[in-house]
Amino acid sequence: MENSELIKRNMYTIGQTVKKLRRQKKWSQEYLSFMSGLDRTYIGGLERGERNATIGTLTTISKALNITLFQLVEEASKYESGNH
C-alpha cells in the first residue's frame, strides 16, 4: 500500500473512532466542538476522514472526550482490525 493510501485510511479510521466515541456519549458534533474548542466543521471533516489532525488536535479531542490520546489510538486500532 502506498504511503498516501495508508495516511487516508488512518485519517478515516481516526475520524470514525472519534465519531463512535462522540455518539457513545450522545453528543452532537456541535457539543464536541464546544467541549474541545474546535470548530464544528473541523469535527465533521475529521470524522469523514477529510482532515489530517495533528497530535495536538487529537490530544485536545481526547481530553474533551475524557480519554487519553493513547485510548483514542487503541480504539482506532480496534476499528481498523474490525473489532468495533
For cell 473541523, the residue is: 42
* Distance, CA of 13 to CA of 77 (rounded, Å): 8
Separation of alpha carbons 36 and 12, rounded Å: 20
Per-residue confidence of the chain (84 residues) as pLDDT tens digits?
Answer: 799 999 999 999 999 999 999 999 999 999 999 999 999 999 999 999 999 999 999 999 999 999 999 999 999 999 877 766
CB atoms near residue 24 (< 10 Å):
9
Report field, pTM of the whole predicted structure over 0.75: yes
Cell of 84: 468495533
b/e for 29-68, b at 16 or more Cβ within 10 A?
A: beebbebbebeeebbbbbbebebebeeeebebbbebbeee
Alpha-carbon span 59 to 64, nearest angstrom:
9
